[in-house]
C-alpha cells in the first residue's frame, strides 16, 4: 500500500507529460503511486503514456470532466493516506514528495499542505504559496509575482492550498468530502479549503515542496470559459461556506467587488460570460442552499475563530489587481490563479 497517491489530470496535454512524469520518476521518496486521469484527449496522450510511462496507473475517460471531475475519478482509485494533486503543466523538484511526506508527520493536526509553486520560465519568481481568504469570501494568492526569498522560506499556516500542487490527508477528505463536481474547474480548491477550515482542519505551507508551473498554460486558450467558471464558482464558494453573520458583516465590500468585477470583465470583452455565470448561480441556488445547510450544520469553528483566519486588508489587494488588469492589455484579463482542466 503506497503512502502517497499522486493524481495528475490531463486533457490534450501530451506536450507537457514528458516533463511532468519524468520529474515524478526522479522523486527521492518512493512509496507513492501515480494515477493519471485523461479527460478524453484526442492528441495521443493515452497512447503516449502507455508506451513511455507504463508504471503510471492510467484512467481514460471518454469525456472531459474538467479538473474537478478528473480528480474525483482519480481519488476513487487512490490508495494512499496522503492524496496529492498535481497539474500536468508542472515540473516538481526531486524532493517534492519527500518534503510533503515529512510535513505530514511534523504537523499531525494539519489536514492539507500547500506547495511552493514557482514560475516555470522564471524560477526565482513565485506563482503561489497557498492562498488567503478574505472576510468578503475572496481568495488572495500568497506571494504571487514576488521573488522567492526569506519570507517564503519557513512553514506557515495558510487558509488553503492551490490544487495545482496540493496534499490532502485522506482522513480529512473522509470528514469534509472531496471536490464538488458542480465546479468543473476553478475555485474547487477554495471550496474544499473553506469546508476544511470550518471543521477545524488546518493547512500548512511547505517551503521545501517546490513545483515549477507554467501559469495558465491550459486555460489561457479559453478566456470566456475561464471567466464563466471563475465568476460562477466564486459565488458557489461564498454561498456554501460563509456563515450568515459574516455575510452580513461584509455585505458592502462584497457588493463593491461585484460591481468592480462586472466593469472589469465587460471592459475585457467577457461581460456576457460574467452575466451567464451569475445567472447560472441563480438557477442552481436550490442545490447550493441544500449543500450550505449541510456544511453549516457540521461546522465546528465559531464566527470569531473563522474571522481570525481571514485576511482583513482585502480591498486594497483586490482593487490593485483589478486596476492593474484594467490598465494593461486584454491578455491580462484572465490570468486565473487556478489549476488547469
Better pLDDT: 317 or 12:
12
Say whether pLDDT at 278 is over 60: yes
pLDDT given for residue 216 in this prediction: 63
Tell me: pLDDT of 334 over 50.
no
Predicted local confidence at residue 57, as pLDDT? 97
| β-pair type (156-158, 139-141) | unpaired
Going by pLDDT thresholds of 50, 70 and 90, the confidence category of residue 20 is very high
* 3-state secondary structure (DSSP) of residue 51: helix
- What percentage of the chain carries pLDDT values higher than 70? 89
Query: φ, ψ for residue 212 (rounded to 5)?
Result: -100, 125
Q: What's the pLDDT at 333?
A: 34
Tell me, what's the pLDDT at 224? 82
Class of domain 1-341: alpha beta
Decide if pLDDT at 338 tops 50.
no
Residue 12 has pLDDT above 80, yes or no: yes
Higher pLDDT: 247 or 338? It is 247
Residues contacting residue 160 through CB under 8 Å, at least 6 positions apart: 112, 114, 130, 131, 133, 139, 189, 190, 192, 193, 194, 196, 197, 203
Q: What is the mean pLDDT of the segment spanning 230-251? A: 95
Please name the helix (run of DSSP H) or strand (run of DSSP E) that holds residue 270, with its range, or none.
none
Rounded (5°) CA angle 211-213-214: 165
pTM check: above 0.75: yes
Q: Which residues lie across from 241 on neighbouring strands?
A: none
Neighbouring residues of 128: CB distance < 8 A, sequence distance ≥ 6: 117, 141, 142, 143, 144, 162, 164, 337
Q: Which three cell numbers stand for residue 142?
A: 500568497
The residue-averaged pLDDT of 59-71 equals 96
The per-residue pLDDT of the chain, averaged, comes to 90
Chain segment 304-321, per-residue pLDDT in tens? 999 999 987 655 454 444
Instruction: Give residue-wise pLDDT tens across range 155-199.
Output: 999 999 999 999 999 999 999 999 999 999 999 999 999 999 999
**Rounded to an integer, what distance in angstroms lies between the CA atom of residue 138 and that of residue 135?**
7
Instruction: State how far the Cα of 98 lies from the Cα of 208, in Å rounded to an integer.
Output: 9
As to burial, measured by CB atoms within 10 angstroms (0-12 exposed, 13-18 middle, 19+ buried), residue 121 is: exposed
Alpha helices by DSSP H, 124-270:
170-176, 188-198, 223-241, 244-249, 251-267
Q: Which three cell numbers stand for residue 226?
A: 475561464
Domain positions in the chain: 1-341
Q: What confidence category does residue 221 fall into, taking pLDDT thresholds of 50, 70 and 90?
A: low
Phi, psi for 201 (deg, rounded to 5): -90, 115
Higher pLDDT, 180 or 265: 180
β-partners of residue 86 are 8, 165
Give the pLDDT mean for 323-327: 40
Average pLDDT of the residues in 14-41: 98
Amino acid at each position: 500500500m503506497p503512502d502517497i497517491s499522486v493524481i495528475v489530470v490531463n486533457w490534450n496535454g501530451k506536450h507537457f507529460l514528458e516533463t511532468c512524469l519524468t520529474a515524478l520518476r526522479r522523486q527521492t521518496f518512493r512509496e507513492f503511486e501515480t494515477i493519471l486521469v485523461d479527460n478524453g484527449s484526442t492528441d495521443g496522450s493515452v497512447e503516449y503514456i502507455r508506451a513511455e510511462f507504463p508504471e503510471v496507473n492510467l484512467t481514460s475517460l471518454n469525456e472531459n470532466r474538467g479538473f474537478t471531475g478528473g480528480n474525483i475519478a482519480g481519488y476513487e482509485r487512490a490508495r494512499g493516506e496522503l492524496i496529492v494533486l498535481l497539474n500536468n503543466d508542472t515540473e516538481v523538484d526531486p524532493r517534492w514528495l519527500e518534503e510533503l511526506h515529512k510535513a505530514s508527520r511534523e504537523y499531525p493536526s494539519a489536514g492539507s499542505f500547500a506547495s511552493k509553486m514557482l514560475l516555470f520560465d522564471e524560477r526565482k519568481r513565485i506563482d503561489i504559496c497557498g492562498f488567503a481568504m478574505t472576510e468578503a469570501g475572496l481568495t488572495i494568492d500568497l506571494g504571487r509575482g514576488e521573488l522567492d526569498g526569506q519570507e517564503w522560506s519557513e512553514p506557515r499556516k495558510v487558509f488553503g492550498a492551490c490544487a495545482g500542487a496540493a496534499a490532502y490527508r485522506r482522513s480529512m477528505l473522509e470528514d469534509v468530502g472531496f471536490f464538488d463536481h458542480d465546479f468543473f474547474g476553478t475555485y474547487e480548491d477554495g471550496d474544499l479549503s473553506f469546508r476544511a477550515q470550518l471543521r477545524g482542519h488546518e493547512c500548512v505551507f511547505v517551503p521545501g515542496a517546490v513545483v515549477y508551473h507554467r501559469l495558465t498554460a491550459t486555460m489561457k486558450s479559453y478566456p470566456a470559459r475561464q471567466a464563466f467558471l471563475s465568476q460562477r464558482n466564486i459565488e458557489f464558494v461564498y454561498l456554501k461556506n460563509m456563515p450568515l453573520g459574516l455575510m452580513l458583516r461584509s455585505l458592502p465590500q462584497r457588493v463593491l467587488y461585484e460591481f468592480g468585477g462586472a466593469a472589469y470583465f465587460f471592459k475585457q470583452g467577457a461581460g456576457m460570460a460574467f452575466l451567464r455565470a451569475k445567472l447560472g448561480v441563480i438557477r442552481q441556488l436550490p442545490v447550493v442552499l441544500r449543500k450550505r445547510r449541510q456544511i453549516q450544520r457540521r461546522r465546528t469553528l465559531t464566527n470569531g475563530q473563522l474571522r481570525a483566519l481571514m485576511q482583513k486588508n482585502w480591498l486594497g489587494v483586490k482593487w490593485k489587481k483589478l486596476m492593474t488588469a484594467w490598465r494593461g492589455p486584454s491578455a491580462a484579463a484572465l490570468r486565473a490563479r487556478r489549476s488547469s482542466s
